[in-house]
Structure 1
């Protein structure tokens, strides 16, 4: 089991195209978004008010002993602080709210998009990576709105407002205060560049970790059967070490940057105290101005320290957005432009000069021509990889043909509306997948139009009713993940019921009884014949004994039809079918 590691680049600057596309998701909530911008501006305007009123309180009231005036200014100051707290609460709430509703919309859109993708896409894409896209990457977008974009705008406005007030009060002291600003800017830029790389490494490590875990937990039986526990554990440790190392690098940069920023700020405050104290002693500066400037400086440097972190939050949100939009831009979806629908199908299937390849020009089906008349049973036989399953995958449009034409009742299957086509074609696969839910849900897949009575009627037809009734709760019995509490045969019977409950006109059985023991197969074989009566049926047979009564048998070899006929006709030919038949007889004899 190999796992290709994902490599992405965060880019040199924030991609404005991605931000513009993100904004399209904001449009339905423009009122709340503009209110958030208003709150951001209000916070920036309120930021310098506290130091200013403290300065006024000291210079205009404390120094002259005006108690009444001091009480009034304190009341004003308390009121402004309460107002600032209220605005801050509203800003935090609405930024978080907007972030959550947007990621809800994007996650819904992404999952709907995944539902429409071709199976070929899932063949080539690790499931863990798709989980990362739909969960972790989208979750990162919430931070773009709650801690990234709006917060950065607020920080920048706060810087401009505070700087303007400082210059208005005392431009000389302001210039002294800003002596350490170049050092802060340089250290912030270096931190931003370093943390940007580590954040991207962390995201890649998370994606690789998710992919590895999903693949190996799903295939745990293979790992244990072949005694690969130690080796897979070592591989997991390697990936986990990369994840840990990426996180530690980010922690290291934070542990260096913030102490450095504190030292730079302390130096700036020290210069202000020194210069201001000289001014106060020389009666050139009021003590309230000096105290307010110390507070202004603390307020001024805080957004600068945070802006690097905000930028990288925005940067990672843009990186995650790029990945998500790349997935949304995927054109590997199943075209559903067909508008033809029908209430009843006759079941006349025809393949004309069909060519198909899963990868480029490596054709697994070559110039296939076959016809199944309504009510007939067609059996497909051949060695593994001959192309049997590919034919039925094409009939249900799980994959698209490269060339040729497939029609049902004379209509090209691409002209059918996809849901209508699959409504009339019942498929029973060899590998049965059951969800962690009740038997009733696994049969109906949540379709409210199918009653329990209909389910039990279908179960009666395929011989599954008795075993379902014996289970605790019957149809309400929870089969757990992948149907782990049921036997292979029971899972297969449920798949029969799942196909038959829709009463399809065309039935496809992909080696549906190969996982069932001989005794169970004998019990359901008669029911299968009843189920196929009056329906067009295509059967991929593992056991040739099950297809003796087929109207027509097609033998495939390396993607080509090599023999066609009934069971007796093919035995008389003495070709591929005869060889397969003799091999099975020898196996049974052993």
Structure 2
């Protein structure tokens, strides 16, 4: 019952998305009516032609030739209006798919970051590509079969009733048996098609993960084990997919068998009426054709049942994304006109899951222009602290303010413009180097871009590339070294000229000499501005105004490098563990 309701709900939601294109649906319906009407009129003409040649030596050639001309015109009209119907149904399907794909991609920008973090990326990609395509295929088949099918059923029924209502009654009574068969099989297969689409998402996620980390796979000789894991997914998809397709495929031959019985019943009854003289041979031929036409829509619908079921299952997965909770809206439209960089954190508590508190009772007061370093063991909350500053996640309790204004009262866009951020994991997109550097400042001049690149020590290697700043780099900077990608990310942050700079292991992928130069560039750029530096290499933070030592979500020590060493506490142990050999 629950699955049936979910299935019905998915169909209703898809139909709502089609509503803006109702005009095209009306045109498709009109085309279907004309096409089917001509199709149904051809058997009448054929029956008349048969009656005109039934007697030996008494063939009305003039009438037969005229009827053949009419049949030719009718066939041409059927072909034309079927093409028109297909054209308009494709417009509806493809535009609906375009709208769905746009909505899903836009939804990725409105859901909380936690949703993206906790959902496999390959599965999300599968939903926006494979599942939306499956919905489009299902829509196309549904409209084509629905319009022509309904008109065909109504039209043939009317024609059969005018010829012989008794035989027509037999057809009407027996044909619904095929509907019951199709409905039973459809209900039985829905869960399998839903599972099949979910497994497609799992495989997409697994493949995306391994292609993106192929160096790691090869470095650890994990190829065979990776293939074995893939085979598990692939074999399960084979099993589930086979069962779903097999069960779906049962519908068509089952309904064809029922409809063949109907056709046989019509033939036998029609022959009896013809022998009795109440039905001509031409009318019998016409009736048999109509009986076949009447059952044809049922056969066609069950023939595409697999695509329809796949489309419905895919629609459910698409709407799961569209109906996910959005990020909590901004409390107000307040914006900071000029961010000075004073940051105050008061009694902040935060956890990703309620069962595991991460940051507890965290307080900090940072004056504008301060250089703050954050150190501590893995998992102590350093990056989480950055996520809270940027409002990628919201605090469970407590308050974070910038220049005396609670960040919950500032729009996210305005808040994030205060920051320039460079992460340990560099991210670049497929485009020119110039486009990548302008990502955070589209209006930057070429001179400003070059100045930022020079400050980040990226200008020299950019200039040596084939097209300089117009060199196209592949997705995620695949044709650059890790250090070069990191330098470009640093230059990109510098180009935004932020009031607050956040560096989360920003120099971890570049050599020591370049790191020293970049640190000097950062120092020059951040003069008079606030900066937060998350670092594991403690040698890079000696000059910080304040070093915060975090452990288990709390600040356990703070002070300058010399002060913390003199205390002989946790920081002293961390520092000496890195330089024990020296």
Tell me the TM-score normalised to structure 2 length.
0.92
Structure 2 CA distance for aligned equivalents of residues 200 and 541 of structure 1: 46
Distance 1:114 1:366 in 2: 30
1:290 aligns with 2:284: yes
Distance (Å, rounded) in 1 between the aligned partners of 2:6 and 2:550: 55
> Relative to 1, partners in 2 of residues 1:256 and 1:431: Cα closer, same or farther, differing over 3 Å?
closer
Is 2:323 the counterpart of 1:329? yes
Moved more, 399-408 or 311-320: 311-320
1:56 to 2:48 alignment: yes
Conservation of the 8 A alpha-carbon contact between 1:10 and 1:316: no
Q: Deviations over 1:482-518 (max 9, x none)?
A: 2232222212111110101111111111121222221
Q: Within 5 A, what are the aligned runs for 1:129-528? A: 129-149=123-143, 151-175=145-169, 181=175, 184-253=178-247, 256-310=250-304, 313-333=307-327, 335-445=329-439, 448-528=442-522
Greater shift, 130-139 or 212-221, is seen at 212-221
Cross-structure match for 2:115: 121
1:532 corresponds to: 526
The answer as to 2:61 corresponding to 1:67 is yes
1:369 alignment partner, SS class: strand
In the TM superposition, what is the alpha-carbon distance from 1:550 to its structure 2 partner? 1.4
With normalisation by structure 1, the TM-score equals: 0.91
Q: Distance in 2 between matches of 1:520 and 1:72?
A: 91
Match of 1:22 among 14, 17, 26: 14
How many Å apart are 1:291 and its aligned residue?
A: 1.2
> Please, which moves more after superposition, 532-541 or 256-265?
256-265
Paired residues of 1:14 and 1:318 also in contact (CA < 8 A): no
1:206 Cα deviation after fit: 1.4
SS of the residue aligned with 2:472?
Answer: coil
CA RMSD of aligned residues (A): 2.6
Question: 1:10, 1:319 within 8 Å by CA — same for their partners in 2?
Answer: no
Deviation at 1:361, TM superposition (A): 4.2
Q: How much does 1:100 deviate?
A: 0.7
Q: Structure 1 residues 336, 79: CA separation in 2 closer, same or farther (over 3 Å shift)?
A: farther
Worse overlay, 379-388 or 209-218: 209-218
Q: Deviations over 1:455-475 (max 9, x none)?
A: 111111222211211122111
Q: Using the TM superposition, name which of 285-294 and 340-349 deviates more.
A: 340-349
User: CA 1:543–1:179 in structure 2 vs 1: closer, same or farther (change >3 Å)?
Assistant: closer
Identify the range of structure 1 (296-305 vs 266-275) with the bigger mean alpha-carbon deviation. 266-275
Does the Cα contact within 8 Å between 1:188 and 1:305 map onto a contact in 2?
no
Q: Does the CA contact (< 8 Å) of 2:417 and 2:498 recur in 1?
A: yes
- 1:86 aligns to what? 80
Give a deviation string over 1:373-411, Cα, whole Å, max 9, x none. Answer: 111111111111121111111111111111111111111
User: How far apart are residue 182 of structure 1 and its match?
Assistant: 6.0
**Deviation, structure 1 residue 447:** 5.6
Q: How far did 1:169 drift?
A: 0.4
> Does structure 1 retain, via aligned residues, the 8 Å contact 2:24–2:91?
no
- Report the CA distance shift for 1:16/1:407 in structure 2 as closer, same or farther (over 3 A): same
Measured in 2, the distance between the counterparts of 1:22 and 1:583 equals: 60
Gaps of 5+ in 1: 1-8
**Shift of the alpha carbon at 1:242?**
2.1
Partner residue in 2 for 1:5: none
- Residue of structure 2 equivalent to 1:37: 29
The range that moved more, 480-489 or 426-435, is 480-489
Equivalent residues of 2:440, 2:493 under 8 A apart: no
Name the CA distance, whole Å, in 1 between partners of 2:340 and 2:191: 61
**Secondary structure at the counterpart of residue 450 of structure 1:** coil
Q: 1:6 corresponds to which residue?
A: none
Q: Distance between the aligned counterparts of 2:133 and 2:366, measured in 1?
A: 50
The aligned length equals 580
Q: Runs (4+) of structure 1 moved beyond 6 Å? A: none
Q: Which is worse superposed, 10-19 or 44-53?
A: 10-19
Which stretch shifts more, 78-87 or 551-560? 78-87
CA shift in 2, pair 1:97/1:312, >3 Å: same
Matched position secondary structure for 1:330:
coil
Shift of 1:312: 5.4
Separation in 1, partners of 2:509, 2:197: 41
User: 2:430·2:475 contact (CA, 8 Å) conserved in 1?
Assistant: yes
Structure 2 unaligned regions, length at least 5: none
Indicate conservation of the 8 Å contact 1:149/1:314, yes or no: no
Structure 2 vs 1, CA of residues 336 and 443 (structure 1 numbering), >3 Å: closer, same or farther? farther
Instruction: State the alpha-carbon separation in 1 of the partners of residues 201 and 79 from structure 2.
Output: 39
2:245–2:306 contact (8 Å) kept in structure 1: no
